[in-house]
Amino acid sequence: MKRFMFTNLLLAIAIATTHAQYNKANLKLEPAAALKKYAYENLQVYPVRANAAFKEQHKHVGNYVTLKDGLQKNKAKITERDRGEVNTLYIENVSSDTIMVLSGEVVQGGKQDRVIAQDFLLYPKSKKDISVFCVEPGRWQPQKGGDEGMEFKSYSSFSTNDVRKAAIVEKDQQKVWDKVAETTSKNNATTSTGTLTALKNSGPFSASLKKYTDYFKPLFASEPDVIGMVVVSGDVILGCDMFATHEMFMAHYPDLVNAYATQAITTGKPVTVPYGNVQRYLDTLITDERKQESEVKKKGTLLKEGDKKLHVSTF
């Protein structure tokens, strides 16, 4: 009898571990009473916390290098295609690490700055074409001569969720340009080429952004159960980003904060979205795992390695 009970216990644990994915049993939204800590001016962050089963299930997920680190440490090379194509670039991993590339990340260089429009893992010593959209409509020539002028050596950050949505969900280049123009013009960062990356040259915008980032960036370093967040400004839910581990979340968190804060500065207002609306938004992503992938792809992206979901993002 004891052996039978022990066997059933092991089976129950195995089943629980197998299904420790992105669902309501394993993920919880921060209670409304504790949210004041995670708000600054026009931006409210709702932490998504994982239970022990979720963390156990994902503790052996790979230690991936971010695209930002990959470019800065010369582990990744991004270049224009031979003839140059607006919506396609070429990436090569020259290192022994696996690089995680996420949609919405903006790279500078080549014939024009681009936003990446897909999530993928780039394994060691591998290469591939990648889907991108232009975020610099007034330039189509290298800024340097030779092969160097065709490379993208600088990492900017994540784009705003408005730009991510236009590129990844709607796949509409004109809408991407419209959102880029709105963002740069409202922040006094208009240039002759119209690039989104000119935001960093706007003094008033940079000062505002620093206030947001100084507040938000330190928040989750000592909260290991936080694996993602839903973000709100005004009466709008800007989006959601969730990762398989706290470490993976923290590796991307500073640049995600930049993106969400940029949108709050550009079009945001004091938060008026009720807590229940945010809970329902998250519920649409985690209530039914059978429909989860299709639901996410209607308004975002989902990155998997085997049966493990590494990143869920909606905007």
Domain ranges of the chain: 22-60+202-315, 64-187
Question: Does residue 187 sit in helix, strand or coil?
Answer: coil
Q: What is the largest CA-CA distance in the chain?
A: 79
How does pLDDT run along the chain (315 residues), one tens digit per residue? 555 444 444 444 444 444 579 999 999 999 999 999 999 999 999 999 999 999 999 999 988 999 999 999 999 999 999 878 999 999 999 999 999 999 999 999 999 999 999 999 999 999 999 999 999 999 999 998 888 999 999 999 999 999 999 999 999 999 999 999 999 999 999 999 999 999 999 999 999 999 999 999 999 999 999 999 999 999 999 999 999 999 999 999 999 999 999 999 999 999 999 999 999 999 999 999 889 999 899 999 999 999 899 999 999
The rounded distance, in Å, linking the Cα atoms of 10 and 4 is 10
User: Which residues are CB-contacts of 18 (< 8 A; sequence separation ≥ 6)?
Assistant: 57
Instruction: Identify whether the C-beta of residue 285 lies closer than 8 Å to the C-beta of residue 296.
Output: yes
The rounded distance, in Å, linking the Cα atoms of 39 and 257 is 12
User: Which residues are CB-contacts of 13 (< 8 A; sequence separation ≥ 6)?
Assistant: none
Q: State how far Cα 86 lies from the chain centre.
A: 22
Instruction: Identify whether the C-beta of residue 152 lies closer than 8 Å to the C-beta of residue 107.
Output: yes
| Amino acid letter, 186 | K
Instruction: Identify whether the C-beta of residue 184 lies closer than 8 Å to the C-beta of residue 190.
Output: yes
